[in-house]
Amino acid sequence: MVTQDWKLRLLNRSSTASEILAELQASGLEYVSVGDEQPVHDAISYLDNHDGRFDYATARRLGLPIGSGNVEATCKCLFNVRLKRSGSRWKETTGEHIVQLRAHALSDRWGDALELTLRPLRRAVRAA
């Protein structure tokens, strides 16, 4: 299957996206309709519009994530669990404050954030 080959090539070679784009353009199928859709045209447009975002091979070599799982999990932990509880109502400003606090707590930066927040409020104390 062609798409499986493209997937393997995308994961392992940096030049694959431009090669796939050239294959699609050379296919002569760009304006062939399937129902109301033109899938080859849509694929060509997508590759053109997202040029430079398909270098999965380099990302993998650098140990960077190439999927959206990390972002989706962060959104679930940071926003959904806290802000979308049954019966919850938030104003934009108070919701933003909760998100900031939750981000500090989930990223183990609570202590540092508290230190930075309280530092300007500290005053020297003299013994009487």
Categorize the per-residue pLDDT at 62 as very low, low, confident or very high, splitting at 50, 70 and 90: very high
Give the range of the structural domain holding residue 100, as residue numbers without chain letter: 69-121
**Does residue 113 lie within any of the structural domains?**
yes
Q: Is 126 part of a structural domain of the chain? A: no
Residues 54 and 8 in one domain: yes
Give the torsion through C-alpha atoms of 52, 71, 79, 86, to 10 deg. Answer: 120
Residues 39 and 87 in one domain: no
- Give pLDDT tens digits for 92-108: 888 888 888 888 888 88
Say what the pLDDT of residue 93 is: 81
| Token representation of residue 69 | 């799982």
Same structural domain, 44 and 83? no
Global pTM?
0.56
3-state secondary structure of 49: helix
Residue 127 lies in a domain: no
Q: At what angle do helices 16-26 and 39-49 cross, to 10 degrees?
A: 150
Tens-place pLDDT, residues 69-99 = 888 888 887 777 777 778 877 788 888 888 8
Q: What whole-number distance in Å separates Cα of residue 122 and Cα of residue 116?
A: 11
Residues 116 and 78 in one domain: yes
Residue 66 has pLDDT above 90, yes or no: no
Question: How do residues 13-39 score in pLDDT, each as one tens digit?
Answer: 999 999 999 999 999 999 999 999 999
Domain tally, the chain: 2
